């Protein structure tokens, strides 16, 4: 059995590295290039780079910056944010990324998955799902950095994305994001048992036990932001990675 992937998630804004809490309160934490160099040394499995407000702000991809980031990386890279067309995806791959992360565009152009997959393969497509509870306490999928409710349930949308040809699903709990409170394992479990492609859990990790809990709930890989860029909750920036951890 292959070792579970542990994936740092880097959030970009105006070329800098930021971290959010519940998709809000973005705080500057440093330079993404230096951060990638540290993850090289710590032998991270792969990295996900997200320009997290690109779609909500209708911004184009900063191809110069993301190419610069990819040029420093020794591990596989995935990029998401502002990808609106097959041409955008091609430019991301040409910039040095092995995968594209698609989110908001999938609600308007679900066929983009088939277009990209026909050229680069399903394994190159990560479909991201941002989830939070609505006022009725039900889990719903949101787009555009958590600002627009889509009406879909997480399981319903995950199944649609799998059927459209996505290679893996990244589910991010908006309510857990940046809280250090642990993954929403109920959410992870509910999706993992309904799809047949890898599921990456994201949102809320604060320690290695949280990573293990997500895997026990059915996640094929675990992703985190705060846990890998801060010393601990409420303390300063310290890039880290659990080298050698097997889960």
Quick check: 117 pLDDT over 90? yes
Query: DSSP letters of 169-228?
Result: EEEEETTTTTS-S---HHHHHHHHTT-SS-EEEES---SHHHHHHHHHTT-SEEEESHHH
pLDDT in the model for residue 86: 97
In the chain the domains, ranked by start, together with CATH numbers, are: 5-229 (3.20.20.70)
Region 64-88: mean pLDDT is: 97
Does residue 235 carry a pLDDT above 80?
Answer: no
Whether 2 has a pLDDT exceeding 70, the answer reads no
Plot region of 4 (φ>0 → left; ψ -120 to 50 → alpha; else → beta) = beta
Q: Which residue has the higher pLDDT, 247 or 160?
A: 160
Active-site residues, by number, are: 130
pTM: 0.95
DSSP code for 137: S
Report the pLDDT averaged over residues 99-121.
97
In the chain, count of helices (H) and strands (E)? 8, 12
pLDDT average, residue stretch 118-146? 95
H-helix or E-strand containing 51?
strand 47-51
- Kindly report, residue by residue over 147-166, the tens digit of the pLDDT: 999 999 999 999 999 999 99
Residue length of the chain: 247
Structure tokens at 104: 């908001």
Q: Where residue 136 falls among pLDDT bands split at 50, 70, 90?
A: confident
- pLDDT above 90 (res 95): yes
Predicted local distance difference test score (pLDDT) of residue 1: 45
Nearest to 143 by CA among 55, 36, 50: 55
The answer to whether residue 69 scores a pLDDT higher than 50 is yes
What is the pLDDT of the chain when averaged over all its residues?
A: 94
CA atoms of 205 and 242, how far apart (whole Å): 13
Q: What's the token pair of residue 175?
A: 């309510």
pLDDT in tens, 181-221: 999 999 999 999 999 999 999 999 999 999 999 999 999 99
How far is residue 15's CA from residue 73's CA, in Å, rounded to a whole number?
16
pLDDT for 233 equals 82
Task: Please report, rounded to a whole number, the percentage of residues in the chain having pLDDT higher than 90.
Answer: 88
Burial tier of 209 (Cβ tally within 10 Å: 0-12, 13-18, 19+) = exposed
**Average of per-residue pLDDT across 56-63:** 91
CA distance 38 to 107: 36
């Amino acid at each position: 059995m292959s070792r579970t992937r542990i994936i740092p998630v880097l959030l970009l804004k105006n070329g800098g590295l930021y971290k959010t809490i519940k998709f809000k309160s973005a705080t500057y934490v440093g330079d993404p290039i230096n951060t990638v160099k540290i993850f090289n040394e710590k032998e991270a499995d792969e990295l996900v780079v997200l320009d997290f407000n690109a779609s909500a702000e209708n911004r184009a991809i900063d191809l110069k910056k993301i190419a610069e980031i990819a040029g420093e990386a020794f591990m596989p890279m995935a990029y998401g944010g502002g990808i609106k067309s097959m041409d955008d995806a091609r430019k991301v791959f040409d910039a040095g990324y092995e995968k594209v992360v698609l989110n908001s565009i999938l609600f308007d152009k679900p066929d983009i998955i088939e277009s990209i997959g026909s050229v680069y393969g399903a394994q190159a497509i990560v479909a991201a799902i941002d989830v939070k509870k609505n006022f009725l306490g039900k889990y719903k999928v949101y787009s555009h950095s958590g600002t627009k409710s889509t009406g879909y349930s997480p399981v319903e949308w995950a199944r649609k994305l799998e059927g459209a040809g996505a290679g893996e699903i990244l589910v991010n709990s908006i309510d857990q994001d940046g809280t250090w409170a642990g993954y929403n394992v109920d959410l992870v479990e509910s999706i993992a048992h309904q799809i047949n492609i890898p599921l990456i859990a994201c949102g809320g990790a604060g320690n290695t036990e949280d990573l293990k809990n997500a895997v026990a709930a059915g996640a094929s890989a675990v992703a985190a932001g705060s846990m890998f860029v801060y010393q601990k909750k409420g303390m300063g920036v310290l890039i880290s990675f659990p080298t050698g951890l097997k889960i």
